[in-house]
Structure 1
Amino acid sequence: MTNDPTMTDAALTGQQVGLSPFDNGYGFVPAVGTPDPDPDALWLVFQGDRLLTVGETVPPRPAEGLTGEVYLGTQQGRQVWAARMTGDAPADQRFSRLRGLYGKLPDWLWMLGGYAYQIVEWDRTHHYCGNCATPTERDPNERARRCPNCGLSVYPRLAPAVMVLLTRVGPQGQPQVLLCRSPLFPPGMYSANAGFVEPGETVEHAAHREMYEETGLSIRDLRYFDSQPWPFPHSLMLAYTAEYAGGEIVPQPGEIEEARWFDHNNLPQLPGRASISRRLIESVVGPQPD
């Protein structure tokens, strides 16, 4: 597998595993510590959930206004740092929401930006101990913040979520998929059903529960498809397909605006290609136009 970050996506076809800085072949190696920043270090600078960019890449380290600098590791031997910026973007640069940068930045940089955002936000929101309010300290040996007073250790948050694409044979013998609309979706867009795993549940139990709670439908033959880190702000999406096992569609108020069966050749607007949901749907129905 190549580690050359200059290679095109076309050259990497069939080699990329998924949307993660750790498994995509671009050579990112995570690390902790506080080395002196190299002059040529890669800096991922955020203001809220917006990344500082210039053209189709990120600029060198800003001369001023940085806070919360965090060392992330190396990319092809080059140091990678993340930080927050308190002031305005310099001239010729801009802050843009990370989601909207998919397809505008190289994939390896977009994926790394997602990881950086998760770490920066975790670090920002855990400066004080949740047990005794003492200022926490970064652990020099692992990605954690520790309380010097009571010993509480805090690690980066991760919220697992399960996504299920339900399939069936329709009344006329045609293959169909169930797609749902969240009230938060853009107009006209549908996706596979998804929800967070609750404490005490397995992922499989969550898949059955979420589908029944949100649509009133039962499932069977749950089959794992793939996973994707989803840094908005700290989720891990686990995607599955399943077969319809009965029930009538009853959308859950406040969660599902509409749920419908769609023929494979008559689909609505689908999520963008940044999301695993698009890959999940296309794995069943085939490639779709944007």
Structure 2
Amino acid sequence: MISHSFVLQPERRGYWLVVNRQRLYWPAEQTELWLTTAGELARMFGEPEQSGDLGQLNGQPVFYWVVNDQRDDEHNWQSPRALLAFGDGIFQLAARAVQVALFIQTHRYCGQCGSAMHLVSWELAALCSRCGHRCYPRIAPCVLIAVVKDDQLLLARSTRHKTGFFSILAGFVESAETLEQAAVREVKEEVGIDITDLQYVGSQPWPFPHSLMTGFIARYQSGDIKCQPNEIEEAYWFDVANLPEIPPVQTLSGQMIAQVVNTLSK
């Protein structure tokens, strides 16, 4: 369980993740989490808007420290995605810190009666003392689908990606949908084809700002590619030996593509 309230003692030592506006303090020369004291952070950043416990790493406690003022050293603040290169352990802690900070920032007031809310001490939740409304961090599940047809993999370029960069299909789960239903629907909507034989691969937290990516590999069933306007710019069947620019293997989509390539190359 994550604790989000403690007495902030200057000598409190551990790994600290400093969050500001969905970014993390991570200078270019930094290669691991910052092991220091709360007092040192206070001298550098001022008192935090909120701080708390994120867990453990290598036997040391890990904390978050939230500041929301405008910073002058913009080059020292990185998106959590930049921390993928330092391993799953650091990335997951960074993702958690950013998502906790967002939850705190967006739940200052009750969405039911408008009164001020406060964090409860035994779990990550915001509670309204006036009407009793309780809120938990939002998590938006998203499906990733790698579609295979014979020895080819379907890759698409969304309107948000640069020319030449392709990835597997993705979309958010809608209300009352299973993950599998969302996968089938998203593929049909985005490229107009039907799929079958879905196999679950894995998941990855994705703090942009509060997603949980879930991956499936599926087989092509029928239909021709027809790109969804305003969503998919282009989509093609690619031979696994001749793929375009794709996501890095630190991402779940990159890992799924690598798995498909490995399977089809045997």
TM-score range, shorter chain: 0.7 to 0.9
The alignment yields a C-alpha RMSD, in angstroms, of 2.1
Q: 2:6 matched to which residue of 1?
A: 34
Give, in angstroms, the shift of residue 41 of structure 1: 2.7
More helix by percentage: 2
> Greater RCO between the two (CA within 8 Å, min separation 6)?
2
Find the residue that maps to 2:163 and give its secondary structure.
coil
Write out aligned runs for 1:119-268 (5 A). 119-169=100-150, 175-268=151-244
- Cα deviation, 1:184-233, whole Å, max 9, x if unaligned, reads 11331111111000001111111111110111000010111111111111
Q: 1:78 matched to which residue of 2?
A: 61
- Cα deviation, 1:161-199, whole Å, max 9, x if unaligned, reads 111100012xxxxx0010111111133111111100000
Give, in angstroms, the shift of residue 50 of structure 1: 1.8
Residue type of the alignment partner of 1:176: Q
Contact 1:68 1:120 in 2 (8 A): no
Could you list the runs of 4 or more consecutive aligned residues of structure 1 that deviate by over 4 angstroms after TM superposition? none
Contact 1:67 1:86 in 2 (8 A): no
Specify which of 268, 275, 278 is matched with residue 254 of structure 2: 278
Aligned counterparts of 1:277 and 1:162: Cα–Cα separation in 2: 10
Give, in angstroms, the shift of residue 58 of structure 1: 4.7
1:56 partnered with 2:31:
yes
Q: 2:76 matched to which residue of 1?
A: 94
Q: 1:47 matched to which residue of 2?
A: 20
Residue type of the alignment partner of 2:250: A
Unaligned runs of 5+ in 1: 1-28, 170-174
Contact 2:127 2:133 in 1 (8 A): yes
Identity of aligned residues (%): 35
Aligned counterparts of 1:282 and 1:125: Cα–Cα separation in 2: 37
Contact 2:23 2:78 in 1 (8 A): yes
Give, in angstroms, the shift of residue 272 of structure 1: 1.9
Larger displacement relative to structure 2 (71-80 or 126-135):
71-80
Contact 1:72 1:116 in 2 (8 A): no
When normalised by structure 1's length, the TM-score is 0.81
Aligned counterparts of 2:7 and 2:203: Cα–Cα separation in 1: 32
Find the residue that maps to 1:116 and give its secondary structure.
helix
Distance 1:79 1:97, change over 3 A: closer
